[in-house]
Amino acid sequence: MQSNRIIVLEDRLKRFYEVLQKRQKDLVVFVDDVTNEHNFSAILRTCDAVGVMRVYYFSEAKKGIEINEAVSMAANRWLFIERVYDREKAIKEIKERENLQVVVTWLDESSKDFREINYTKPTLLVVGNELKGVSEDILNLADERIVIPMMGMVQSLNVSVATGIILYEALRQRLDKGMYLKPTLSEKEIEEIIMKWNNDIIARRKERRK
């Protein structure tokens, strides 16, 4: 019985290491006041799938936004998610600190086709509220404004679907450039994250036993 536990632990650690080897430290997502928990949770699931490590979000709601783990498939457990209370200040700080291009989704004739952007550059992708889009303050910080071409009667896609399409274009470009073959995290950073994930698992197990 003890040997089975060790095997499970080793398999889990191996999986953690493999995933973290592909995390894209310089591909970051900012969610601006998305209100639907299913949309937010689906965005988190896609972020994990393409190797995004960090997600920032702003919410007008007092309690923020809930995460539905049935929708996210618990992807939130493997991401670093941070709520910010001043979106303009947060984006300015992230951009300046990490030298990221700010790419904002915006439904406008002047916006570029999302496929024209070079996502192999360090990128902060900003997606907005289901009805209003991103705030004007954020729009003014954009280096690039992008749109997904629409051929039907509706003008835009669901925010979680749109985020997925854009992130998978980023994935395609980064795969073509071999960016998933070389880790962006240091060995020390990988070890620290693995330790955190293990501790989180232990904490959740203890909570379930109460």
Task: Give domain status of residue 180, yes or no.
Answer: yes
Task: Give domain status of residue 182, yes or no.
Answer: yes
157 is in an annotated binding site: yes
pLDDT of residue 8: 46
190 is in an annotated binding site: no
Distance CA 19, CA 113 (A): 30
Q: Which amino acid is at 140?
A: N
Domain range for 41? 24-198
- Specify the higher pLDDT residue, 179 or 203: 179
pLDDT of residue 70: 97
Task: Give domain status of residue 102, yes or no.
Answer: yes
148 is in an annotated binding site: yes
- Residue-level length of the chain: 210
Task: Give domain status of residue 57, yes or no.
Answer: yes
Mean pLDDT of 118-139: 96
pLDDT of residue 157: 97
CA torsion sign for 30, 36, 39, 41 is: positive
Residue 7: pLDDT above 80?
no
**How many Å is the maximal CA-CA distance in the chain?**
63
Task: Give domain status of residue 184, yes or no.
Answer: yes
Residue 22: pLDDT above 70?
yes
Task: Give domain status of residue 13, yes or no.
Answer: no
Mean pLDDT of 14-35: 97
What are the beta bridge partners of residue 147? Answer: 113
Mean pLDDT of 146-170: 97
**Domains held by the chain: number:** 1
Residue 6: pLDDT above 80?
no
What stretches of the chain show up as alpha helix (H) in DSSP?
A: 2-21, 37-50, 69-72, 87-98, 136-139, 159-176, 187-209
For 87-127, the pLDDT digits (tens) are 999 999 999 999 999 999 999 999 999 999 999 999 999 99
CATH number of the CATH domain containing 115:
3.40.1280.10
- Percent of the chain whose predicted confidence (pLDDT) is above 90: 90
Task: Give domain status of residue 124, yes or no.
Answer: yes
Task: Give domain status of residue 1, yes or no.
Answer: no
